[in-house]
Amino acid sequence: MSELPASGALRLTCQPSKAGNTLVFPYRLANEGPGEVYAMHALPAGGAAASETAAVVMAGDTGDAIIGKFAPPLPADRRIAVPVVPLARRLPAGATLEGRIEVALPLAETSPYFPDLTLRQYEIVDIKGVVLTIGFWLADTGELVARPSAEGSDLLQILTADPVKSARLATQRFPTTALQLFRRTDAFPRMPA
């Protein structure tokens, strides 16, 4: 299922697969509405080139794992001067955008705000499904500015007062069996239900 924005309809479709020890999510976003959107497409890599296949992974409230390209929730245990905001691509009305996410197994919660933990600092939980999630912003709001990214190509840096709250989400859920998630036991922030 996809969330429908006020000025259009962004449809997310995907056929996930597994290649060795990697979950692969080749996805397609179709903007079926009249308004232009900025779809999150790459995650900044802190000095290195942005990754178009990396993802944020977190446990959901309903027993699913949320995997995708979206603005991760801010940590509650520290102040963040500059939030990590995924780089976006412009998606005009009627256009499509293809992307890919690759997540290595074992599946573990990740965020650009937190380094990986030692194995004993995770708890292993069974998950009921995977929710592929791609964030986007409506382009016709006066609250944001899109400017070319230093990463080049057609990636855009989106500037807005609150990148997490102003973003919308397109999602697609995949039921799973026998898949587990290494859930963090520290002060890791998760998306509210």
Q: What is the pLDDT of residues 18-27, one digit of tens each?
A: 999 999 999 9
- Summarize pLDDT for 74-89 with one digit per residue, the tens: 888 888 887 888 999 9
Residue 2: band (very low, low, confident or very high) from pLDDT cuts 50, 70, 90: very low
Look-up: residue for tokens 């990636």? 155
Mean pLDDT of the chain: 89
- Summarize pLDDT for 168-188 with one digit per residue, the tens: 999 999 999 889 999 999 999
Q: Left (φ > 0), alpha (ψ -120 to 50) or beta: where does 167 sit?
A: beta
For residue 56, the one-letter residue type is: V
Q: Is 9's pLDDT higher than 90?
A: no
Residue 4: band (very low, low, confident or very high) from pLDDT cuts 50, 70, 90: very low
What is the DSSP track for 54-123? --EEEE-TTSEEEEEES-PPPPSSS--SS----EEEEE-TT-EEEEEEEEESSEE-BBTTBPPPPGGGEE
Q: Is 149's pLDDT higher than 90?
A: no
Distance CA 117, CA 192 (A): 23
Residue 162: band (very low, low, confident or very high) from pLDDT cuts 50, 70, 90: confident
- pLDDT at residue number 1: 37
- pLDDT at residue number 34: 87
User: Which residues make Cβ contacts (< 8 Å) with residue 150, sequence separation at least 6?
Assistant: 157
CB 54 within 8 A of CB 43: yes
In 3D space, the residue among 141, 167, 144 whose CA is nearest the CA of residue 157 turns out to be 144
- Summarize pLDDT for 100-114 with one digit per residue, the tens: 999 999 999 999 899
Q: What share of the chain in percent tops pLDDT 70?
A: 92
pTM attached to this predicted model: 0.90
- Summarize pLDDT for 112-142 with one digit per residue, the tens: 899 999 999 999 999 999 999 999 999 988 7
Q: Is 7's pLDDT higher than 60?
A: no
- Summarize pLDDT for 44-55 with one digit per residue, the tens: 866 567 899 999
- pLDDT at residue number 48: 61
Distance CA 88, CA 73 (A): 17
